[in-house]
Amino acid sequence: MDKLAPWFEASRNDHMIAFQHGHRFVVYLGKEAADTIETVLDVIQQSEGCEAALGNFSEESRPVAKAIMHKLRSYGILQDLSQQGAASWALAAKEIVGGEMSCEDIETKENQVKLIVISNGTVPDVARMLAQENGLRNTRWVENVTEEQIFDILDGEDEEGLIVYSPTAHNDRLGAAINRWALSRERAWMQILPYNGGEAVIGPLFIPRQTACYECFRLRRRAASAHGKDQRVMDDGDAITFANSGASSWNSPAESGIVWSMFFQLLSIEMLDLHSLPMTPLRGQAHTVCFDECGVAVEHHRVFTVPRCPACRKPSLPMPQPWTASDPSFESDEKH
């Protein structure tokens, strides 16, 4: 049952009617055209879809109304929103994927997703609230996990669940342990690193034998940093906790809300597993979120496999050899 797509905005004046979605406009010129289209829209909104609306037109005007509906449908202004009362998160996914899936199919797919969120501390309360609002009710929260416990905990989890690692700091050692477990069991997992004063990180989704692993991510991050040697201390050193700091977390609920909202939005598209997409939003991709006095900035990064990654790649390539540049020699060969 086609209805007006709620993400389109419409407006008109005496000479035209315009529809807008993002940076895209659909415009019809002429007062008569604007009047006719507005009439068709009014009838559609008062009816149960386009087919029912056609019955409210006379025999003479029905072909015109049908042609207008066909044109609006071709531009995506009319879409199949047959499920009454579709959840807002399903409509948001529908707006992105277009006509490939119905809202009902999206909700069915999302409701089948199982998440296992693991943290060395506690997960922000806003994450639980957003999981419910985004239809991910089959989510298990495992908090205060230690490196010694992680293998036993993960071995006992559902094999169909997606593991999401949400530490309280970037330098927690639990991520490396999860990476070792995931590579040995060939299980997909991903990370949500909290805002650390510079950035929060969403993703990438690590898939053994298909994408870069967690160690590849850390190596790439160090290579791209102006403080690579310092970052190595944070990555590989022993974390020091400040038990008497007086606060369990210094991240604001607003920062956590933005990060987790982005995660659930990206996950909603990733889990649809649409083969028509040239690139899914989390598979081998990371998104950094930065907060400063000017607002919020988001950047997207491809994370490529490191050929000599000590965790996921066997050293099949020879080690690079040092070389020394020298001036070319043009001495003649006396034999020739």
Distance CA 87, CA 130 (A): 13
Tell me whether strands 189-193 and 200-206 are parallel, antiparallel or unpaired: antiparallel
Altogether, the residues listed in the chain come to a count of 336
Question: What is the domain partition of the chain in residue ranges?
Answer: 2-80, 113-302
Using alpha carbons, select from 256, 296, 299, 300 the residue that is nearest to residue 282.
300
Between residues 61 and 234, which one has the greater pLDDT? 61
Buried b vs exposed e over 10-27: b needs ≥16 C-beta within 10 Å?
eebeeeebebeeeeeebe
**Residue 228, pLDDT above cutoff 80:** no
pLDDT grade for 45, boundaries at 50, 70 and 90: confident
The confidence score (pLDDT) of residue 187 equals 92
Place of tokens 């797919």: 109
Place of tokens 């959840």: 87
Cβ atoms of 193 and 165 within 8 Å: the answer is no
The confidence score (pLDDT) of residue 157 equals 80
Non-local (6+) Cβ contacts of 80 within 8 A are: 1, 2, 99, 102
pLDDT tens per residue, range 169-223 = 877 788 999 999 999 999 999 999 998 888 899 999 999 989 999 999 999 988 8
pLDDT grade for 20, boundaries at 50, 70 and 90: very high
pLDDT tens per residue, range 54-76 = 888 888 888 998 898 888 888 88
Between residues 166 and 276, which one has the greater pLDDT? 166
The confidence score (pLDDT) of residue 48 equals 76
Compute the Cα dihedral for 90, 280, 254, 116 and give only its sign: positive
Between residues 323 and 137, which one has the greater pLDDT? 137
Averaged pLDDT for residues 133-153:
89
pLDDT grade for 334, boundaries at 50, 70 and 90: low
Which phi and psi (to 5°) does residue 266 adopt?
-65, -40
Compute the mean pLDDT over every residue in the chain, rounded to the nearest whole number: 83
Q: Both tokens of residue 19?
A: 């529809």
The CATH class of 2-80 is: alpha beta
pLDDT grade for 254, boundaries at 50, 70 and 90: confident
**Residue 322, pLDDT above cutoff 70:** no
**Residue 320, pLDDT above cutoff 90:** no
Averaged pLDDT for residues 35-44:
88
Compute the Cα dihedral for 188, 194, 196, 200 and give only its sign: positive
Using alpha carbons, select from 245, 255, 183, 192 the residue that is nearest to residue 215.
183
The confidence score (pLDDT) of residue 190 equals 94
Between residues 327 and 116, which one has the greater pLDDT? 116
Q: Which residues pair with 18 in a beta bridge?
A: 11, 27
CATH code for residues 113-302: 3.40.50.720
Residue 270: its H or E element: helix 253-270
Distance CA 186, CA 129 (A): 30
Using alpha carbons, select from 111, 277, 290, 271 the residue that is nearest to residue 194.
290
Distance CA 31, CA 17 (A): 8
pTM: 0.76
Q: Picking from 136-140, 194-198, 322-326, which range would have the lowest pLDDT averaged per residue?
A: 322-326
Averaged pLDDT for residues 234-260:
73
